[in-house]
Copies of this chain bind each other. A is one copy, B any other.
Amino acid sequence: MSLTEDKLNRLLNELSFDANGLIPAIAQQFDSGEVLMMAWMNKEAVKATLTENRGVYWSRSRNSLWRKGESSGQIQQLKEFRWDCDRDTILLLVDQTGVACHTGRRNCFYFAIRGDEVTTISDVIIDPSSLYQA
């Protein structure tokens, strides 16, 4: 992706950010279609995602830009940047290194209802303590 600064600014004006200046962004593994996670972006995060070609979000808990994988190494290489009819949700197609979830699971959506029970449907594949070492 290589929008000119002019086109990038036009896109930032076109997207609909909420009262907190944020827009939800869904990350999907580009080849398998697996939905990996949902996080939030502000204008700065959209800009960083598009110029660095990787998933960059806004951390609402840390109140700072969050380059996904910067401490864990589990980065998201950007394959395509899409948005929806209402211009208020982003869909990133990415190539996820390792795991998207801080619990060490491939994706964050591991709670499910099966039959009449709430259950956990995917396994931890990377020890989370190895993801966030001091």
Closest chain-B Cβ to A68's Cβ sits at a distance in Å of 14
Q: With A26-B26, A33-B32 in contact, do A82 and B4 touch (Cβ < 8 Å)? A: no
Bound-state Cα–Cα, A28 to B82, Å: 15
Number of copies: 2
Using Cβ atoms and an 8 Å threshold, which residues of chain B touch A28? Answer: 33, 35
Q: A32-B33, A84-B108, A87-B111 are in contact. List 20 more A-B contacts (CB 8 A).
A: A2-B115, A3-B118, A7-B117, A7-B118, A10-B118, A24-B24, A26-B38, A37-B84, A38-B89, A80-B112, A80-B113, A81-B112, A82-B112, A84-B111, A85-B102, A85-B103, A85-B105, A86-B108, A89-B109, A91-B109
